[in-house]
Structure 1
Amino acid sequence: MNKLEQAENKLEQAEREKLESQSGLDEDAIEQADPIGRSIEEIANLHVHMESKVDRHQRSIETITAFLGRPSFLYIILLFVACWILLNISLMLSGIRPVDPPPFTWLELIISISALLMTTVVLITQWRQNRATELRRHLDLQVNVLVEQKVTKLIELVEELRRDLPQIEDRHDPEVEALKQQVNPHEVVSSFNQLIKEAAREEAAQERE
């Protein structure tokens, strides 16, 4: 009886190990078959890495900028200005010397200083956003160049396969030969700038005519 129980226990243990190994393989297969999920996770990790480098002063300024961009901040400004004007006019009508009589010089000074501070805060926030945008553009350019290289390699492999297959007639395709050439980013930028200059010269010539 003991031997039978031991055999059953070993069989159950073997089945459990088999199921665990299969589940592990299934998880690996699912992970490998989901490149979109991996790409999203990598992009999220990149965003977290970029945000982790921001110091607390920059975060405080960006929090202020986010508050300044809300509609509630506009209502607060309108309420403050209205209360300031009504308070000083009420004091003046009551025979009490107002803090800021018309034309409300102190109010103008407060608004000017506040506008200067808000402009500075917004510019600081915009500077970091522009820097992050520039980094993303460089990343997009690198990805596009890598994709172009992969596509070029695929075209070369397809052409080699076509030449090796006897049932397919071998022929010369100029378009394919052009697509097989790797794109040089410097040449693309130079050609683009040249086209812009030529278009500007043509437009200037038409204006003179």
Structure 2
Amino acid sequence: MDKTSKDSLPDMPVESERDQISQNIEAILKFYTREDQKISHSQRVLERISLFIGQPVFVGAILLFVALWTISNIVLHQLGLTAFDPPPFFWLQGIVGLGALLIMTVVLTKQNRLAKLEEQRAHLDLKVTLLTEQKAAKLIDLLEELRRDLPNVKNRHDPEAVALQQSMSPDLVLAALDEGGNSEERLKQSTETQEDMSSSQQTP
């Protein structure tokens, strides 16, 4: 093997790691691209409006409108002219109430879409977490098996390692979250049962 091939070998894991990172980033970008393409034209218009509503200039515009409306009616009344909305400004109250209703609808529309997207991400996080937990349990199982097979390592019973070898059941976790203490007891009993079964299998 020449020097050039030897020098290129250490770079292979680095390049592989970079490829994996690039694939993960590309998958995330594709996910957001698909979700963005699902947005309808009316939804985009409402979200642009919500962006403007969330800016401080919108608050200033509302205050300016209310001040001009109120001052105009007071000045017209002082000049002896007919005010288009005399105090207590019923038309102004109606316009403000309608505006508040429309603003609330626009904001809720955007929040509903974001909540749906967040729910999808939460499901993905849960799947990744369960997969990671299963992989960790498998690694512990392999390490325990290697420890038992090594002749120079004394074999001993490790209850913590036995417990960690067992992958947690998602159904039991959800039941514990939903039902509280009773489910926690059943979860503990199920874990102890799995430990006893593993111990009996390891005992020659």
**Length-normalised TM-score, structure 1:** 0.76
What one-letter code is carried by the residue in structure 1 that aligns with 2:102? L
Q: 2:46 aligns with which of 61, 65, 78?
A: 61
**Structure 2 counterpart of 1:124:** 109
What one-letter code is carried by the residue in structure 1 that aligns with 2:52? F
Cα deviation for residue 42 of structure 1 reads 2.5
Query: Structure 1: which 5+ residue stretches go unaligned?
Result: 1-18, 20-24, 199-209
Cα deviation for residue 31 of structure 1 reads 4.2
Residue-pair matches, total: 176
What one-letter code is carried by the residue in structure 2 that aligns with 1:106? W
Change (3 A) 1:26 1:169: closer
Query: Structure 2: which 5+ residue stretches go unaligned?
Result: 184-204
**Structure 1 counterpart of 2:16:** 32
**Structure 2 counterpart of 1:49:** 34
Q: 1:76-105: per-residue Cα shift (whole Å, max 9, x none)?
A: 000000011111111121222121111111
Greater Cα shift, 40-49 or 156-165: 40-49
Cα deviation for residue 53 of structure 1 reads 1.1
Change (3 A) 1:128 1:27: farther
Q: 1:187 aligns with which of 151, 172, 176?
A: 172
**Structure 2 counterpart of 1:142:** 127
User: Which structure has the greater CA radius of gyration?
Assistant: 1
Change (3 A) 1:27 1:65: farther
Report % sequence identity. 43
Change (3 A) 1:110 1:157: same
CA RMSD of aligned residues (A): 2.4
CA contact under 8 A between 2:176 and 2:182: conserved in structure 1?
no
Cα deviation for residue 41 of structure 1 reads 3.4
**Structure 2 counterpart of 1:92:** 77
Cα deviation for residue 197 of structure 1 reads 7.3
What one-letter code is carried by the residue in structure 2 that aligns with 1:33? E
Change (3 A) 1:33 1:110: same
Distance in 2, matches of 1:111 and 1:197, equals 52
Distance in 2, matches of 1:196 and 1:124, equals 38
